[in-house]
Structure 1
Amino acid sequence: MPSPSPASLDTRRTAARIPGTVWVLGVVSLLMDVSSEMIQTLLPFYLVGTLGASAAMVGFIEGLSVAIAATTKLFSGVIADWTGRRKPLAVLGYGLGAVSKLIFPLAASVGWIVAAKAIDRVGKGIRGTPRDALIADVTPPELRGASFGLRKSLDTVGGFVGPLAAIGLMLLFASDVLAVYWVAVVPAMLAVALLAFGVREPEVGRPQERKERPRLADAMLLNRAVWLAIGIACLLTAARFSEAFLLLKAQDAGFAVAWVPITMVVMHAVYGLTAYPVGRLSDAIGRSGLLFVSLVLLVLAYGALAFAGSIATFLAGIILWGLHMGFSQGLLATLIADAAPKALRGTAFGVFNLLTGVVVLAGNVAAGLIWDAHGATATFLTGAGVTVCAMAALALIRLTARPSA
């Protein structure tokens, strides 16, 4: 039996050094994502086919969800810094997410779905910032890239398993969507229980000199390095449209409607397998070069998707898209963790999530308008053009940020 390679042994040693809290938070994310993807994969078909919603209403619900989550993340971060506590907010956020899963199978109208999505996104907004701040609190700087990458990888396992579970359960329950939704409640409840009883918060403590109430104005205390990291994150976020456009393109490429969720399975599989090793690599060689590579991958993905007239070409674009996600998403959070002072780390993550959320909403609206007016090819080619601009801006930032000789 061949002995493990040095690279394999080094990977195992790094994984063993990652704090147990990070592993638990990753599994919590995995379980909640399994639940969410089981619902989200089937929700557009349920809204249109069963509840009689229009495509415009589906778009409104998704857009409203992004706006709610982005706004909530800022307040959550400020409160996390003021109290010095991360776990209670994370439990509250995951708890609201679990409660929202109970509403979906009981919903008898579009209004109830809107309410469920709103509660779910408030929960997502509350939990994301303190969870990331907690990871930064418990992880030494030399392992931050690996830790955030690991959390992302475990989260994307949920994005891989959830759609597969939805397909399997639809076959088992003879396309009974509500039965699938009831099953989706189980992993959500397990996630909350694991977080509540499996994570111990470190004694970060509330700074003694800060006894005033939390203020959004604290965002102005963030240093130049944090704002630079947020700017880079907004650049990368502006270049990438929602995965909803991938699902729309899947049908054009030749997929039957029942198998469209495979798109997310493939993308999340590639994303999940890439995020952790890229995070480890970033600890050794830095973040910005890998982020530039992620934009190159996104341009290639857009090119393949723009001209995908077959399933094979479409899947090539999806694989490139997943590689882009793996090379970028964990590193964006790591940039903030590297730059933010500990006392304002939650605020920094809140501002980061708010601004990137606004960019996502604006970009998706623009992409939708282009899609309606000019079709899929124009939408993806526009995305490629925006990505090239983001590459130029990132290269300029790297040059201007480099210390002079």
Structure 2
Amino acid sequence: MKTIDKNVVMLGWVSYFTDMATAMIQPILPLFIVLILHEGMDKLGFIVAVATFVSYAMRLLSGYLSDRYGIVKPFVVAGYGLSALTKPLIGFTANYQQITVLQSLERLGKGLRSAPKDLMIAAYSKKNASGKTFGFHKTLDIAGELSGTLILFGVLAIFGQSEAVMRNIFYATLIPGLIGLAIMLFLVRDIPKTSPYESMEFSFNARDKETIKALFVYFFFVFFIFSAAFFTVQAKEVGIATALIPLLFVVSTGIQTLTSYTIGKWIDRIGVKRIMLFAYLSGVIAQLLLYLQNPISTWFAFAFLGLFTVASLNANRAYIADRAENRGSVYGIFYAGVALFGAIGAYIGGVIWEYFGMHAALGYSLLGTSVMLVFFGMIFWNGKKRI
């Protein structure tokens, strides 16, 4: 880890505190919507879909502008600032429409910063070490989620799970959010432009197009796999107590924290294709375990969701860093694709759940992810694509 640039380390700590704030509310937000505000699963799917969809245009725009004009740190700062200020406001909401607006603004902040942040990490990566560098950053990122989840579990265990407690948790996210924003403002150096006088040239070349093309298998896998919000409601449906649900996220984030750096090193050693095959297999196993619909299998499902998340994100981010020329724009397309396909998938999954039941939604997701695993396996073994 001595080879990791100090700016990447500081970016890791920014993500640590920001994701701490996110993890303090992520496990309870779906329950707050469904149980406290008495909204249906179709409304939860709508919130997830709209919030995710809103972020995709900004991811494209910020990635493009970062390449075209060299605007990097200002986008990252603005994105973290918007996220830090919108999370606490959820504590004041009274219906799903208000939550939709605030979640959309929070995701807008994430969309604004995601591609430029990865561009900074790629720029500060040593040669032939992008997997390790992204793995290190993801370790701190997920460690923040783990810390936030443990804080949430402690608060629920001590103070209970009432509406007032949940709203106070939303308010408290302001503290870690502002800490992360301060680190970004004062301790992370912007990457230099290639020219102080002219805007950077931009056009997609053959390498960029090949890279983007390779990402579509992942986009479709994200389309079918359950979002974390649906994982949460499924856990409640199979009888896991609300107070224990944060521990499910501890399992997922703990797995990611422990494996991220090692997976990053393995990306550099054995290549992206093998790591992505492992990621897709983990995702299918997670869906299969949910499909069994019992508390024990749900605990294991969260563990495999963690493996899918950390392996797929590290592999794709490192792949773009190594292959693309206009990396900011390609990162923007990557995050936009994840957001767009995830949004549509979440809405469809929510509608299926609401009108046909949880079992039907689980079957739909398991079938879709299994088909994508087989498709990627055919590509992998036949060598028809370079991924």
Q: Could you tell me the TM-score, scaled by structure 2's length? A: 0.89
Q: CA deviation at 1:190?
A: 0.1
**Partner Cα separation in structure 2 for residue 397 and residue 208 of structure 1:** 45
Contact in 1 for aligned 2:27/2:229 (Cα 8 Å) = no
Matched, 1:339 2:328: no
- Residue identity in the other structure for 1:333: R
Among 298, 301, 307, which residue is 1:317 paired with?
301
**Partner Cα separation in structure 2 for residue 101 and residue 78 of structure 1:** 27
Q: Could you list the runs of 5+ residues in structure 2 that have no partner in the other structure?
A: none
Q: CA deviation at 1:271?
A: 2.0
Gap change, CA 1:189 and 1:19, over 3 Å in 2: same
Higher relative contact order (CA 8 A, sep 6+): 2
Kindly report which structure 2 residues correspond to 1:221-260, keeping only aligned pairs within 5 A, or say none: 223-260=208-245
**Partner Cα separation in structure 1 for residue 283 and residue 142 of structure 2:** 18
Q: CA deviation at 1:331?
A: 0.8
**2:342 is matched with which residue?**
360
**Partner Cα separation in structure 2 for residue 147 and residue 107 of structure 1:** 39
Task: Using the TM superposition, name which of 178-187 and 282-291 deviates more.
Answer: 178-187
Kindly report which structure 2 residues correspond to 1:109-148, keeping only aligned pairs within 5 A, or say none: 110-148=96-134
- Residue identity in the other structure for 1:76: S
Q: CA deviation at 1:77?
A: 0.6
**2:167 is matched with which residue?**
178
**Larger Cα Rg: Structure 1 or Structure 2?**
1
Matched, 1:277 2:266: no
- Residue identity in the other structure for 2:233: L
Task: Using the TM superposition, name which of 172-181 and 93-102 deviates more.
Answer: 172-181
% of aligned pairs identical? 27
**Partner Cα separation in structure 2 for residue 211 and residue 283 of structure 1:** 29
Secondary structure at 1:201 match in 2: coil
Matched, 1:327 2:327: no
Task: Using the TM superposition, name which of 377-386 and 113-122 deviates more.
Answer: 377-386
**Partner Cα separation in structure 1 for residue 94 and residue 235 of structure 2:** 29
Runs of 4+, deviation exceeding 6 Å? none
Q: CA deviation at 1:221?
A: 7.4
Gap change, CA 1:252 and 1:98, over 3 Å in 2: closer
Q: Could you list the runs of 5+ residues in structure 1 that have no partner in the other structure?
A: 1-14
Task: Using the TM superposition, name which of 33-42 and 187-196 deviates more.
Answer: 33-42
**Partner Cα separation in structure 2 for residue 288 and residue 156 of structure 1:** 23
Among 149, 154, 157, which residue is 2:140 paired with?
154
Matched, 1:105 2:91: yes
**2:282 is matched with which residue?**
297
**1:11 is matched with which residue?**
none
Kindly report which structure 2 residues correspond to 1:185-196, keeping only aligned pairs within 5 A, or say none: 185-196=174-185
- Residue identity in the other structure for 1:200: R
Matched, 1:95 2:77: no
> CA deviation digits over 1:331-390, x for unaligned, max 9?
11111112211xx21111111111221111222223223333544344334333323322
Contact in 2 for aligned 1:67/1:357 (Cα 8 Å) = yes
Gap change, CA 1:227 and 1:111, over 3 Å in 2: closer
> CA deviation digits over 1:273-314, x for unaligned, max 9?
2222111111011110111122222222222221132x2222
Gap change, CA 1:387 and 1:116, over 3 Å in 2: closer
Secondary structure at 1:113 match in 2: helix
**Partner Cα separation in structure 2 for residue 58 and residue 314 of structure 1:** 20
Task: Using the TM superposition, name which of 99-108 and 322-331 deviates more.
Answer: 99-108
Among 182, 197, 219, which residue is 2:186 paired with?
197
Q: CA deviation at 1:107?
A: 4.0
> CA deviation digits over 1:197-244, x for unaligned, max 9?
1111232435866578x8xxx568763322233224324423422122
> CA deviation digits over 1:43-65, x for unaligned, max 9?
33434555554443333222111
**1:5 is matched with which residue?**
none
Contact in 1 for aligned 2:70/2:200 (Cα 8 Å) = no
Secondary structure at 2:173 match in 1: helix
Contact in 1 for aligned 2:146/2:249 (Cα 8 Å) = yes
Secondary structure at 2:226 match in 1: coil
- Residue identity in the other structure for 1:318: F
Task: Using the TM superposition, name which of 188-197 and 320-329 deviates more.
Answer: 320-329
- Residue identity in the other structure for 1:225: E
